[in-house]
Amino acid sequence: MVAMNDLANTPKPGNETGEERPKRQRKPDWIRVRAPVSEGYNETRRLMRELNLNTVCEEAACPNIGECWTQKHATVMILGDVCTRACAFCNVKTGMPRAVDPMEPENTAIAAAKMGLKHIVITSVDRDDLPDGGASQFVKVIEALRRNTPDTTIEILTPDFRGKMRPAVEAICEAGPDVYNHNLETVPRLYPTIRPGARYYASLRLLEEVKSHNPLIFTKSGIMLGLGEERLEVHQVMDDMRSAEVDFITLGQYLQPTPKHAKVEEFVTPKAFDAFGSIARAKGFLQVASSPLTRSSYHAGDDFAVMRAAREEKLRKKDRLSV
Ligand code: SF4
């Protein structure tokens, strides 16, 4: 059987140039996963095609797609499949995006209902070309989900809305997602090469802004390891997130989607991920996911339940102390 990571390293047809390809990096056993072959996987794929929805699972060549789609968990990527940025780690197509699909909010809600989702994750490409960065489409998707599947909890993973962050975050928070995720992606020193279109402190400010707008919305953020970051830099990012009152941190291994993307500098061992996880817990995050295959939306529903229970327990403790 083919390993999924090998599939993930196959350049998309649009990327073929006829140039000789650099050699693939060999991956350790702990991140080799099975190809998607289940009926659940095929059903999820069919549904997404029928409803004309994109998923980050496919576009980012996520190694967990076999497992997630078998269980009918998919992360819908709204606002098209073409991104206006060109980050060095990301496999999503870059260029001039097409017009926004007005049916996307309803179709997302139909997908959530058909898959019977208790928790849904919605993300998007960057849309620097739109006056609101795409914020109003997030709002419409949240509203459609609330109307059609009121019991589904909603997690959104947004871009940084460069230059229009405040009104965008305000509008989205008003729509009331349960979890607001925005990834810092890497340590600040690596931004110029890995995430050149973004600013570390602007992303941190976005996370702060969510909390100041509505402290009840859970905030979540993550970074990829293996891009050349130092251990203490990772600890600093954790501290920065905690200063912004981020509730949930995710740490996962960066995988090079094609030989043209940033190289993997290190395959961080599962033991080292565990150590980072312990440090993050000690720093006070309500929930921590730290493993080579952790992705923002991996097991997002189960993790949401744990995080919500952790907050309730924290509030109960506080009440007991104040009596
Ligand atoms: S981890 Fe997230 S992006 Fe990857 S397949 Fe699962 S739901 Fe999709």
Give per-residue pLDDT as tens, 55-103: 999 998 899 999 999 988 999 999 999 999 989 998 899 999 999 999 9
Contact 157, 78 (CB under 8 A): no
Q: Which residues line ligand 1 (CB under 6 A)?
A: 56-57, 62, 64-65, 68, 73-75, 295, 297-298
Closest C-alpha to 57, from 73, 38, 79, 80:
73
CA distance 283 to 118: 29
Nearest CA residue ID for atom 5, ligand 1 = 65
Closest C-alpha to 52, from 107, 98, 94:
107
Q: Best substitution site from 41, 65, 71 to test ligand 1's pocket, by max atoms within 8 Å of Cβ? A: 65
Q: Best substitution site from 5, 41, 73, 179 to test ligand 1's pocket, by max atoms within 8 Å of Cβ? A: 73
Give per-residue pLDDT as tens, 304-316: 999 999 999 999 9
CA 27 to chain CA centroid, nearest Å: 22
Strand partners, 93: 82
Strands (E), 134-286: 153-157, 179-181, 218-225, 248-253
For residues 223-231, average pLDDT: 97
The model's confidence at residue 276, banded by pLDDT at 50, 70 and 90, is very high
Please give the DSSP secondary-structure letter assigned to residue 214. -
Output the pLDDT for position 13.
Answer: 36
Output the pLDDT for position 249.
Answer: 98
CA distance 4 to 57: 12
Nearest CA residue ID for atom 3, ligand 1 = 57
Q: Which atom of ligand 1 is nearest to the CA of 73?
A: 7
Closest C-alpha to 250, from 224, 219, 217:
224
11, pLDDT greater than 70: no
Upper half-sphere CA count for residue 217 (Cβ side, 13 Å)? 27
Look over the chain and give the mean of its residue pLDDT values, rounded to a whole number. 91
Output the pLDDT for position 22.
Answer: 54
CA distance 128 to 120: 25
First CA to last CA distance, the chain: 60
131, pLDDT greater than 90: yes
Query: Higher confidence at residue 29 or residue 136?
Result: 136
Output the pLDDT for position 79.
Answer: 97
Give per-residue pLDDT as tens, 149-179: 999 999 999 999 999 999 999 999 999 999 9
Q: Which atom of ligand 1 is nearest to the CA of 55?
A: 8
User: Cα of 303 to ligand 1 centre, how many Å?
Assistant: 14
Contact 225, 252 (CB under 8 A): yes
CA distance 202 to 206: 6
CA distance 187 to 2: 33
The model's confidence at residue 185, banded by pLDDT at 50, 70 and 90, is very high
Nearest CA residue ID for atom 2, ligand 1 = 297
Query: Which amino acid is residue 132, in one-letter code?
Result: D
- Written as one string, the DSSP assignment of 13-34 is GGG--SSPPPPPPPPPGGG--B
Lowest mean pLDDT among 5-9, 271-275, 292-296: 5-9
User: Cα of 68 to ligand 1 centre, how many Å?
Assistant: 6
Lowest mean pLDDT among 12-21, 191-200, 225-234, 274-283: 12-21
Please give the DSSP secondary-structure letter assigned to residue 14. G
Q: Best substitution site from 47, 56, 125 to test ligand 1's pocket, by max atoms within 8 Å of Cβ? A: 56
CA distance 268 to 271: 8
Output the pLDDT for position 24.
Answer: 63
